[in-house]
Chain A
Amino acid sequence: MERQQDYAVEVEDLTVAYDAKPVLWDIDLKIPKGKLMAVVGPNGAGKTTLIKAMLGLLKPVTGAVRFLDGNDDIRTLKNRIGYVPQSGSVDWDFPATVQDVVLMGCYGKLGWIRRPGKPDVELAIQMLAKVGMQEYASRQISQLSGGQQQRVFLARALAQEAEVYFMDEPFKGVDAQTERAIVALLKELKEQNKTVVVVHHDLQTVPDYFDWVTLINLRVVACGPVEEVFHENNLKKTYQSSGTFLRGVM
């Protein structure tokens, strides 16, 4: 038997459905530790659903998700899992400053009731500096551009000081400067042997930014090192409409 420690995340027979319509069908995935993995697939392929199911935000119909050392309860792992949701998923008119939002990354370590203290604020500022936003710390979040919002979310995830990160389309709608900042950050996380799972749209940049890739469209088409599985044949299979699925069965 393989040693489970080698994997950051293992997904087994995961099926997620909205009512009777499956969005993910029998997903098996093994994500090795220390990899930068892109999740690629057409619109509606279930990329965001996969991330949410892995994080336990959605209840699967079947299957299980295991983290790090075989623990399948995300609640006991909450300080080791970082999450960057799509920036459009929150209300940016919420009365808070950039620093307030980044500090939320520290909440998991604090647990219920305890408040963030000086070391947490220092950590938040440090993480803001990493995404090039330290001078924005006291800025209102409603005044940020799309790229800046995304960087604030990244800084917040960094403040979680997690081992495995899930990012839902961090490159969506960002400017070139933010894109470079995110890429530099991904490389830095990899150097620290962290695992990062990124929902990604731009096929062109997959080989430059990532070393591992999962191609999905309802089912997993391929999952492995970019140089082995990211080729035209697999991409065709992923982006072709329903034909893929049936061909796989018959």
Chain B
Amino acid sequence: MAPQIEIQIIAVIVAVACALPGTFLVLRKMSMMSDSITHTILLGIVLAFFGTHDLSSPLLIVGAALMGVVTVWLTELLSRTRLLAEDAAIGVVFPLLFSIAIILITRYAGSVHLDTDSVLLGELAFAPFDRMIIGGVDMGAKAIYTTGILLLINLAVIIIFFKELKIATFDPMLAAVLGFSPALVHYGLMTLVSLTTVGAFQAVGSVLVVAFMIGPPVTAYLLTDDLKRMLILSGIIGVVNGILGYQAAAMLDVSIAGSMAVVTGLVFFLVFVFAPHRGLIRSLLRRRNQKLEFAKATLLFHLSNHENSAEENAEAGIDTIKTHLHWTGEFTSKIIKSLVREDCVQLSGCLVKLTPEGRYAIMRNYITLFSR
């Protein structure tokens, strides 16, 4: 298989494997924890390496996964004292554990191939060099198999424990009452995140792992209101980001991981601006509309309050309304014009008068505003 294809296959597998647990991190408002874990697991790898002196030992993965859970536990221990906030706790734990790992590597393992640069940025381009050879037959890049197993594990866990993850994320109290220990689900998920990170960062680096874990789920969150669809959509968006990112990198001859992370950010930004219901443009339009609708309702209420009263001339004149409602002249005439167009008011002399249609609109507004 061509290395270009293999690189894209690895990227696609990693993207989906990261998006699955990432969706729950986003919903639990723990996005930054993934940044922390992707770095601190290095300490787990280093410590396990000192025990085994073998870079290919599976114990390295165990050490990394444990360190991920320790990171979460330490962070929560600190923030539970209420002496510092959770984000501050992350800011303390993550640099501390990560730096210890860096110091240990530079001091004791300089000769070993534990390169800090490739840990952070990964080197997807080199992944095809590490082959899976069984009985002398080349079965393809090794990373396809390691990340493939990871993807299968994540898929299996999320499918099997979908119900538990859902309830423990939405309502941990009820989960506890119903016998689904939220702590167990929480640390289970964190173990999965750590495992994913270990499996993925060797291939793509920790920055891209964070981008793949958080970017696609927050993008999908803007597009759907359904948890299952959000999971599937996150996976699809991750795949698209990976392939587009690779193509861009090949075209511009730049870092593959960097390019994929940039595409992830760009795709998010595009969806953020243009999403049909929750996008920026849509919500600005909606807010503008709401403001106009509310202004119209306000004016109608105002007219009805002063209708046929002694001060009607002062309160409901075409030129006096703006001073009473503290609106600009331009805004006032815009609202009046739009109400005239809707037959809710008519102009009689210099007064703005309610029409029957206007009175009906007041009733409708009242009902929608005050009885839910």
Q: Report Cα–Cα, A144/B372, bound state, in Å.
A: 10
Q: Report Cα–Cα, A147/B370, bound state, in Å.
A: 13
Q: From A116, which residue of chain B is reached at the shortest CB distance?
A: B163
Q: Is B179's CB under 8 angstroms from A108's CB? A: yes
Q: Is A57's CB under 8 angstroms from B173's CB? A: yes
Number of interface residues of A (CB under 8 A): 38
A89 cross-chain contacts in B, Cβ below 8 A:
171, 173
Do A104 and B170 contact each other (CB < 8 Å), given the known contacts A95-B230, A115-B163, A116-B163? yes
A106 to chain B, nearest CB (A): 9
Q: Report Cα–Cα, A31/B177, bound state, in Å.
A: 19
Q: Which of B219-227, B263-271, B343-351 contacts A (4 or more CB under 8 A)?
A: B219-227
A156 cross-chain contacts in B, Cβ below 8 A:
174
Q: Is B27's CB under 8 angstroms from A57's CB? A: no
A96 cross-chain contacts in B, Cβ below 8 A:
166, 170, 225-227
Q: Is B161's CB under 8 angstroms from A113's CB? A: yes
A91 at the B interface (CB under 8 A): yes
Do A94 and B177 contact each other (CB < 8 Å), given the known contacts A113-B161, A115-B163? no
Do A74 and B27 contact each other (CB < 8 Å), given the known contacts A95-B227, A95-B230, A145-B372? no
Q: Report Cα–Cα, A143/B371, bound state, in Å.
A: 16
Q: From A81, which residue of chain B is reached at the shortest CB distance?
A: B177
Residues of chain A in range 93-150 having any CB-CB distance to chain B below 8 Å: 94-97, 100-101, 104, 107-108, 110-113, 115-116, 140, 142, 145-148
B249 cross-chain contacts in A, Cβ below 8 A:
none
Do A95 and B224 contact each other (CB < 8 Å), given the known contacts A107-B167, A145-B372? yes
B159 to chain A, nearest CB (A): 10
B177 cross-chain contacts in A, Cβ below 8 A:
55-57, 74, 78, 81, 83, 108
Residues of chain B in range 130-158 having any CB-CB distance to chain A below 8 Å: none
Q: Report Cα–Cα, A177/B148, bound state, in Å.
A: 54
A247 to chain B, nearest CB (A): 33
A69 at the B interface (CB under 8 A): no
Residues of chain B in range 219-254 having any CB-CB distance to chain A below 8 Å: 221, 224-227, 229-230
Q: Is A147's CB under 8 angstroms from B226's CB? A: no
Q: Report Cα–Cα, A74/B169, bound state, in Å.
A: 21
A175 cross-chain contacts in B, Cβ below 8 A:
371-372
A56 cross-chain contacts in B, Cβ below 8 A:
176-177
A85 cross-chain contacts in B, Cβ below 8 A:
171, 173-174
Residues of chain A in range 17-46 having any CB-CB distance to chain B below 8 Å: none
B222 to chain A, nearest CB (A): 11
A249 at the B interface (CB under 8 A): no
Do A83 and B174 contact each other (CB < 8 Å), given the known contacts A95-B221, A140-B225, A142-B225? yes
B170 cross-chain contacts in A, Cβ below 8 A:
90-91, 94, 96, 101, 104
Q: Report Cα–Cα, A140/B221, bound state, in Å.
A: 13
Q: Is B27's CB under 8 angstroms from A78's CB? A: no
A107 cross-chain contacts in B, Cβ below 8 A:
163, 167, 178, 180
Find B173's partner among A83, A94, A97, A146 (CB 8 Å cutoff).
Answer: A83
A116 cross-chain contacts in B, Cβ below 8 A:
163
B179 cross-chain contacts in A, Cβ below 8 A:
75, 78, 108, 111
A103 to chain B, nearest CB (A): 9
B230 cross-chain contacts in A, Cβ below 8 A:
95
Q: Report Cα–Cα, A126/B71, bound state, in Å.
A: 45
Q: Report Cα–Cα, A156/B178, bound state, in Å.
A: 12
For B203-229 the 0/1 string (1 means CB < 8 A from A) is 000000000000000000100111101
Q: Report Cα–Cα, A55/B171, bound state, in Å.
A: 15
B319 cross-chain contacts in A, Cβ below 8 A:
none
Q: Report Cα–Cα, A194/B147, bound state, in Å.
A: 53
A171 to chain B, nearest CB (A): 15
A81 cross-chain contacts in B, Cβ below 8 A:
177
A78 cross-chain contacts in B, Cβ below 8 A:
177-179
B272 to chain A, nearest CB (A): 16
Q: Report Cα–Cα, A135/B162, bound state, in Å.
A: 26
Do A113 and B225 contact each other (CB < 8 Å), given the known contacts A90-B170, A94-B27? no
Q: Is B164's CB under 8 angstroms from A112's CB? A: yes
Q: Report Cα–Cα, A78/B180, bound state, in Å.
A: 10
For A69-90 the 0/1 string (1 means CB < 8 A from B) is 0000011001001010100011
Q: From A148, which residue of chain B is reached at the shortest CB distance?
A: B372
Do A104 and B372 contact each other (CB < 8 Å), given the known contacts A75-B179, A95-B226, A110-B163? no
A57 cross-chain contacts in B, Cβ below 8 A:
173, 176-177
A117 to chain B, nearest CB (A): 12
Q: Report Cα–Cα, A232/B98, bound state, in Å.
A: 63
Q: Report Cα–Cα, A107/B161, bound state, in Å.
A: 12
A83 cross-chain contacts in B, Cβ below 8 A:
173-174, 177
Report, nearest first, the 3 A-B pairs whose CB atoms are least far apart: A108-B178, A78-B179, A145-B372
15 chain-A/chain-B pairs, Cβ below 8 angstroms: A52-B173, A55-B177, A56-B177, A57-B173, A57-B177, A78-B177, A78-B178, A95-B230, A107-B163, A112-B180, A113-B160, A113-B164, A140-B225, A142-B225, A156-B174
Give me 9 other A-B pairs in contact (C-beta within 8 A), A55-B176, A101-B170, A177-B371 excluded.
A78-B177, A95-B27, A95-B221, A95-B226, A104-B171, A107-B163, A108-B179, A145-B372, A156-B174
